[in-house]
Structure 1
Amino acid sequence: MSAPVRIADAATVGLLRPGDHVDVIAAVGGDAEAKVVARDARVAQVPHGTGGGWPSADGAEAVPTGDGGALVVLSVGRETARNLAGAGAVGRLAVAVTHAG
């Protein structure tokens, strides 16, 4: 299934391309330790906007969110999609590229 995920750092999203694989890491409030909420998720799409976004790997702009983050669409299983939605609702999400597509 496709899961739209808001990543806190728009510049990081700008480095992603469809086909890349990422781990999604959540940092919640004052927790000292971040946790991986999705492993080796495939980037399905990096939506692009106009104006104000960070440049993406293909030269377009990543769609910014109101707090400086950006959207990426990941292909994941149903349970992982639920985990991502829950983690994104209570904390900030980051990605680490596991391998480029």
Structure 2
Amino acid sequence: MSWPVTAADLTALGQSIVADSAGEITSFDVAYDELNLTAPLGRIVQALTHLRDHPACRFEVLIDLTAVDYPDRAKRFDVVYHLLSMSLNQRIRIRVETDEDTP
């Protein structure tokens, strides 16, 4: 990917990641010039491993782990991981949704 990264570049990367992940990453969107991925709760470890180990990704640094509370939703919490690929100079965000009872 050349710098600066465009929305089209991020869209192409998101499509590639979802297609190559065997269901570990289910969807993506591009917002505010950032790629946002969504993973099923039970497969977050596999999704993060894929993003670290796949040659097109190489997101080897966990920058931040946080959570967001949406009290009006049934699955009210998003657990959000911010990742960095130093070799590609690219950042992404991946999230999973969960409820109050599911760790």
TM-score, scaled to structure 2: 0.29
Q: Name the structure where strand makes up a greater proportion of residues.
A: 1
Q: Name the structure where helix makes up a greater proportion of residues.
A: 2
TM-score, scaled to structure 1: 0.29
